[in-house]
Amino acid sequence: MRSFKIVILREQSLCYYHLISLNGVSIDKKKIIAFGLVRIIEKGRTAWMEGLRVHPRYKRRGLGAFITKYNAGLSASQGVERVRLITELDNEISPKLPRLIGMSKRLTMNYLWKKNIGDRLSQESSEFHRATPEKVFTLLSNLPGLVPRNLLFYNWYALDLTRANLVALDKTVTFWIGTRDAKTVSLCLGLRTTGPRGSEWCCTIYAQDRSAFVSTLRFQIRIMKKNRLSDLLCIHPPKFHSAIPQIPQLQKRTYLLKFGLFERNLR
């Protein structure tokens, strides 16, 4: 995987633009006023743009737009098929930046974050079994509507639902299949990651119905507790948002954000 970072540095009253690789170039962090990252993933097929940040004192000066356009050009120069990114939809500015370079929104997913989740949970109504990438691929081939648009979200990324991507993901995440009355009702994946307060459990849930979603979310909270974690980030389709209050621990002080996956094809 190749990675590139565009960094905007302040030099007295001027700004100049300096492109560096992530391979250890040393710069004065106090001079950084904006930066953005491009990762070349999926064996060179996709340029993933992320990590765009602008110092509060230098916002509304076009720096975010400059970095977005620059990274789009950089991505095209790498011979990729497409450019993708995830951005918050409730933010006034964020959705405008990808549209500056001709990107369009392909999918919306909800990101739920909750800290200090308690231990009291009712028993889930489904059974869960760990699954191999091959089993997941076969399952989803037979349930084409379970994962919207065949785009699998995990943490802050999204990948096409292919056998190769599932095998690559298996090195980072764990897959589970949920069943009820011997029928598949959900797919979930989880991993330990770093959040605002340190280590947290990040999971993605796809379910056939509300009951399956709630049961799978309870199961993921149990997995989180087994990993001795208390903070949860749960990614899920927006249609299940109204089911979350069925879990008492998530009824208060739960943060929910909508994120959109944007894409532009280059070929």
pLDDT for residue 122: 59
Contacts 24+ apart (CB under 8 A), 195-201: 195/113, 195/231, 195/233, 197/115, 197/231, 198/231, 199/229, 199/231, 200/229, 200/231, 200/232, 200/233, 201/227, 201/229, 201/231, 201/232, 201/233
Domain boundaries, the chain: 2-80, 112-262
Least confident of 73-82, 118-127, 166-175: 118-127
Task: Identify the CA nearest to 189 among candidates 242, 130, 149, 138.
Answer: 130
Tens digits of per-residue pLDDT, 188-227? 999 999 877 889 999 999 999 999 999 999 999 999 999 9
- Round to whole Å and give the CA distance between 160 and 258: 20
Do residues 65 and 97 make contact, with C-beta atoms less than 8 angstroms apart? yes
**63 vs 143, more confident:** 143
pLDDT for residue 252: 84
Within 10 angstroms of residue 52's Cβ, the number of other Cβ atoms is 19
**In the numeric block, which tokens belong to residue 118?**
């308690």
DSSP assignment of 229-252, as one string?
Answer: ---EEEEE-GGGGGGGGGSGGGSS
pLDDT for residue 206: 98
Tens digits of per-residue pLDDT, 12-43? 443 444 444 443 444 555 667 778 888 889 98
**In the numeric block, which tokens belong to residue 60?**
């509304």
pTM of the full structure: 0.86
CA dihedral 192, 194, 198, 200 (to 10 degrees): -40
CATH entry, 112-262, from 3.90.1720.10, 3.40.630.30, 3.20.20.100, 3.30.499.10: 3.40.630.30
**In the numeric block, which tokens belong to residue 180?**
């009820």
Mean pLDDT of the chain: 86
Residue 260 has pLDDT above 50, yes or no: yes
